[in-house]
Amino acid sequence: MNAINPEQNNRRTKEGFGPLALTLIIICAVLFVVFCGWLSIKLNIFGYTSKSNGGYVFTERSGPYYERLGSREKVIYKAVVSAAEQLLTRTETLETGLSGAEFENVMLAIRYDEAALFYLDTFGCSADTSEKNSVIMLKYKTDGKTADEMSGELKDAAQELIGDLGNNLSDVEYILAIHDKLTENCEKADPKKQSKFVSTAYGAIVEKKADAAGYAFAMRYLLGTVGLQCAVVFGEADGQIHTWNAVRSDGEFYHTDVYFDDADSKVNPDLPIHAFFMTSGGDESVLLPGRTLDPDSFSFESSGKYDYYSDKGYRAAKSESLKGIINNAVNETDKENRSFIEIAVPEDVDPDFLVETVISVIKTRSSDTVGFASKLLPEARVFSTGRNGYYTIQLFR
């Protein structure tokens, strides 16, 4: 198996329909509505409420991988998701055939869209299909009772991590807050001591140890809880398999890599950086150095203008503007009681000149900030942002 008389008639024509005709019209209208409802379920013609008017559509139901499926594939997708949410071992027989390629498309879409189904082994699922019927056998990473308990743990941990962010934040502020909370909450997993959920939202949010995929799925899960669009994208970084996110703010998509922004500093393990926070542009080699997207990954074009360092006033366009930029960064550090400043500077700025400038600014401050200068050299860290030749420099107290 592979799935009245002429006078009365004239009066009715002039005055409206007679009772019998009106009844027939009502019956036909009801049948049409029922048929449309059935058809929308089978083929997803009407779908779910769209959140985007761009080329890539996010819906209440799912994300971009679901939206690019064909109508038969969407039927299977929804059947598998429904079965997985109920922790069933198989779907009901569906009145649709399914080719091997279609099955792979469905599994890929579920894998990257459905972060909440972290317990479903999409690589282990299989299909029994003919030209008229299809049945999907589901495989899980754990037993049903445990998976149900873990789902509850994930919801609770996500709510605790996000906390009460309020309703007055902009898209960027929500994304930034969740980006920083995730880097503070999670650490990069030891390759030699990995949980079976290391590549899932559960690994990053509950177990608090994850690989790049775990960070990316956690971002999709967390941003979804506050109604923001976030896709998981995948490809390579410096020749290694890698996963990160596409996040949407004010109508534009941006690359965001929380895994690379979790610097794992021995000085301050909870310190986030923002070298790969919401980058955009037409040239991926500029956006994400050494990276390529997989042909099957969600991709996008963006003309978004947001830049973290410019927005915060932390970007120095030239050496002459360093002092003002550092002074601004130190002011914000004092206000927020943070232990570091983070600025973006051109790569041709001399490191000694940078440190001297920081020290000259700090020495004009209060006694509390003067201590900033004592540990600059051994604890300064430099990150290549890949953005127009800039480096991100972090300097600690």
pLDDT at 313 (0 to 100): 85
Calculate mean pLDDT across residues 268-282.
Answer: 72
pLDDT at 123 (0 to 100): 95
For residue 298, the one-letter residue type is F
Calculate mean pLDDT across residues 12-22.
Answer: 52
Q: Which residue has the higher pLDDT, 29 or 376?
A: 29
Q: Using alpha carbons only, what angle is made at residue 92 by residues 91 and 96, rounded to the nearest 5 degrees?
A: 100
Of 182-191, 271-280, 315-324, which has the strongest mean pLDDT? 182-191
Indicate the pLDDT class of residue 61, thresholds 50, 70 and 90: very low
pLDDT at 397 (0 to 100): 56
CB 113 within 8 A of CB 65: yes
pLDDT at 389 (0 to 100): 58
Least-confidence region, from 41-45, 225-229, 376-380: 41-45
**Mean of pLDDT over the chain:** 77
Q: Which residue has the higher pLDDT, 220 or 55?
A: 220
Using the Cα atoms of residue 113, residue 114, residue 115 and residue 119 in order, give the sign of their dihedral. negative
Measured CA to CA in angstroms, residue 217 lies from 27, 112, 146, 203, 376 at distances of: 48, 8, 20, 10, 35
CB 332 within 8 A of CB 364: no
Q: 3-state class of 368 per DSSP?
A: helix
In tens, the pLDDT along 102-157 reads 999 999 999 999 999 999 999 999 998 887 788 999 999 999 999 999 999 999 99
Three-state SS string across 137-189, please?
A: ECCECCCHHHHHHHHHHHHHHHHHHHCCCCCCCCHHHHHHHHHHHHHHHCEEC
As given in the structure block, the two tokens for residue 374 are 């004592």
Count Cβ atoms below 10 Å from residue 253 Cβ, excluding itself: 27
Q: Which residue has the higher pLDDT, 67 or 20?
A: 67
Indicate the pLDDT class of residue 45, thresholds 50, 70 and 90: very low
Q: Which residue has the higher pLDDT, 132 or 162?
A: 162
Calculate mean pLDDT across residues 30-40.
Answer: 50
Distance separating alpha carbons of residues 176 and 178, to the nearest angstrom:
6
Calculate mean pLDDT across residues 247-270.
Answer: 79
Residue 60 pLDDT > 60, yes or no? no
pLDDT at 25 (0 to 100): 65
Extended beta strands in the chain, E state: 126-129, 134-137, 187-188, 209-210, 230-237, 240-249, 252-256, 291-293, 340-346, 381-384, 390-396
Residue 56 pLDDT > 70, yes or no? no
In tens, the pLDDT along 327-369 reads 888 777 777 666 677 888 877 777 778 777 877 777 776 555 5
- Please give the order of strands across the beta sheet that includes 381-384: 340-346, 390-396, 381-384
Residue 42 pLDDT > 60, yes or no? no
In tens, the pLDDT along 179-207 reads 999 998 898 988 878 889 999 999 999 99
In tens, the pLDDT along 246-257 reads 999 888 889 999
Extended beta strands in 48-173, E state: 126-129, 134-137
As given in the structure block, the two tokens for residue 154 are 């994930």
As given in the structure block, the two tokens for residue 201 are 């939202």
The predicted model scores a pTM of 0.78
Give the residue from 223, 216, 271 showing the smallest Cα distance to 241.
Answer: 216
CA atoms within 13 A on the CB side of 187: 12
Residue 10 pLDDT > 50, yes or no? no
Of 18-27, 61-70, 124-133, 368-377, which has the strongest mean pLDDT? 124-133
Give the residue from 272, 281, 311, 62 showing the smallest Cα distance to 173.
Answer: 311
In tens, the pLDDT along 73-96 reads 998 999 999 999 999 999 988 887
Indicate the pLDDT class of residue 241, thresholds 50, 70 and 90: very high
pLDDT at 335 (0 to 100): 72
Identify the structural domains of the chain with CATH numbers, from first to last.
Answer: 1-141 (no CATH), 151-306 (3.10.620), 312-397 (3.30.1370)
Least-confidence region, from 13-22, 136-145, 233-242, 309-318: 13-22
Share above pLDDT 70 across residues of the chain, in percent, rounded to a whole number: 70
pLDDT at 136 (0 to 100): 93
